[in-house]
């Protein structure tokens, strides 16, 4: 297996912004510029042909329909399609959550810890720029960056609010139809090995600055983080129309990932873990085994690793139990 520790060896991923353009148009644009499109491998990560390491080649991603894969070191920061917001340069793993939560067009979605907004604009893209995405972040500067980046991406269905998500009232009538919630809260950032997004210090953004992530030593810090992450998920579950909630981190620690999922499953019975068949079933790397989850539950969550050519990442999805009684509003 590959052990990629260096961002110079990592594929470059290009997300097509469906809020503004189509896959066909973007592929054609690159081809007209002399880029050659190779076939993706049928299973697993693209196993590019030798030529793939040459510049001016690309493949269609084999798991996500709105993603193109370019060879390591391809730099598209000055590309016209990046500058005009038709494409977003985003690590593959960080494109998983929006696909997993999969908001329907014309629906109401919510991004609880949203800045700088890559996943917010991804939800907007998957919704074809229809419906509404409420985007919260408690950091004004980061929220300003979210507003700038989502405006550049042409997203007109995002309502950005500088607010602590834990203080948002789930029973406020304006949120009564929110069905899809994407939770990507502050984490240790231990999975990050590259900084594809040159505009922001991704590491600082993931780790956050609030007291929840501080602690005397690593164990204490992870415990504080995991308590905070559980709180965010439990709060999201109070939204009366919530039916699908993704929880993700760019951490490799079980304490922030599988263990958080297990704690949430133990603390409430309104939401179940979505089954593997509904959570990118074709993606091979699944959750780590832990006595706190059944084998089937570990198999229902996703991990990504630098060995897959991307940052370390974790994604899980909760779905409302159809037999649960409705929350009175
Ligand atoms: N989802 C973002 C993206 O893909 O661009 C990255 C989010 S980053 C991992 C975590 C964010 O959560 C930080 O911007 C931080 O300011 C924000 N945050 C932390 N605690 C929060 C809270 N209680 N309410 C709202 N935002 C919070």
Atom of ligand 1 nearest to the CA of 139: 16
Contacts (Cβ under 8 Å, ≥6 apart) of 230 = 260, 263, 264, 267
250 counts as catalytic: yes
For residues 122 and 90, the answer to whether their CB atoms sit within 8 Å is yes
Pair of tokens at residue 195:
């900084």
Among 186, 226, 257, 311, name the best residue to mutate to test ligand 1's pocket (greatest count of ligand atoms within 8 A of Cβ).
186
For residues 314 and 280, the answer to whether their CB atoms sit within 8 Å is no
Q: What domains appear along the chain, each with residue ranges and CATH number?
A: 7-89 (3.30.70.1170), 94-320 (3.40.50.150)
How much is the average pLDDT of 122-136? 98
- DSSP string computed for 264-275: HHHH-SSEEEPP
Distance CA 213, CA 124 (A): 29
Q: What is the pLDDT of residues 152-175, one digit of tens each?
A: 999 999 999 999 999 999 999 999
How much is the average pLDDT of 179-200? 77
What pLDDT, on the 0 to 100 scale, is given for residue 53? 60
Q: For strand 313-320 and strand 302-304, is the pairing parallel, antiparallel, or unpaired? A: antiparallel
What pLDDT, on the 0 to 100 scale, is given for residue 193? 76
Share of the chain above pLDDT 70, in %: 86
- State in Å: Cα 185 to ligand 1 middle: 5
Residue with CA nearest ligand 1 atom 8: 206
Distance CA 135, CA 63 (A): 26
Q: How confident is the model at residue 311 (pLDDT cuts 50, 70, 90)?
A: confident
How much is the average pLDDT of 24-32? 97
Tell me the binding residues for S-adenosyl-L-methionine.
Answer: 113-119, 137, 184
User: Is 105 exposed, middle or buried (CB count within 10 Å of its CB: 0-12, 13-18, 19+)?
Assistant: exposed
Pocket of ligand 1 (CB under 6 A): 94, 113-119, 136-139, 142, 164-166, 184-186, 205-206, 208, 210
For residues 141 and 208, the answer to whether their CB atoms sit within 8 Å is no
- State in Å: Cα 94 to ligand 1 middle: 14
Distance CA 94, CA 120 (A): 11
Distance CA 184, CA 189 (A): 11
Which DSSP state fits 205? H
pTM: 0.92
Atom of ligand 1 nearest to the CA of 94: 4
């Amino acid at each position: 297996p590959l052990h990629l520790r260096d961002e110079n060896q990592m594929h470059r991923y290009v997300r097509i912004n469906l809020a503004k353009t189509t896959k066909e148009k973007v592929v054609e644009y690159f081809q007209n510029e002399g880029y050659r499109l190779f076939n993706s491998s049928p299973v697993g990560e693209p196993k590019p042909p030798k030529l793939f390491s040459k510049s001016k080649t690309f493949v269609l991603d084999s798991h996500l329909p709105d993603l193109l894969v370019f060879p390591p070191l391809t730099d598209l920061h000055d590309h016209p399609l990046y500058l005009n917001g038709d494409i977003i340069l985003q690590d593959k793993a960080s494109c998983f959550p929006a696909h997993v939560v999969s908001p329907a067009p014309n629906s109401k979605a919510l991004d609880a810890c949203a800045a700088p907004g890559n996943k917010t604009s991804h939800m907007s893209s998957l919704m074809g720029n229809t419906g509404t995405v409420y985007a919260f972040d408690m950091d004004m500067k980061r929220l300003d960056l979210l507003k700038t980046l989502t405006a550049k991406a042409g997203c007109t269905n995002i309502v950005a609010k500088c607010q602590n998500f834990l203080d948002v009232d789930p029973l406020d009538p304006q949120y009564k139809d929110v069905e899809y919630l994407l939770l990507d809260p502050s984490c240790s950032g231990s999975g990050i090995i590259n900084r594809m997004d040159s505009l922001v210090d991704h590491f600082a953004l993931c780790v956050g600055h609030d007291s929840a992530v501080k602690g005397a030593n690593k164990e204490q810090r992870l415990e504080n983080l995991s308590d905070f992450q559980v709180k965010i998920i439990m709060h999201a579950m109070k939204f009366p129309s919530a039916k699908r909630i993704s929880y993700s981190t760019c951490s490799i620690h079980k304490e922030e990932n599988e263990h958080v999922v297990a704690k949430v499953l133990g603390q409430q019975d309104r939401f179940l873990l979505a089954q593997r068949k509904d959570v990118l079933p074709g993606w091979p790397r699944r959750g780590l085994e832990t006595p706190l989850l059944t084998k089937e539950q570990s198999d229902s969550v996703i991990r990504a690793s630098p060995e897959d050519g991307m940052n370390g990442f974790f994604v899980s999805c909760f779905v409302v139990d159809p037999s649960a009684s409705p929350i009175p509003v």
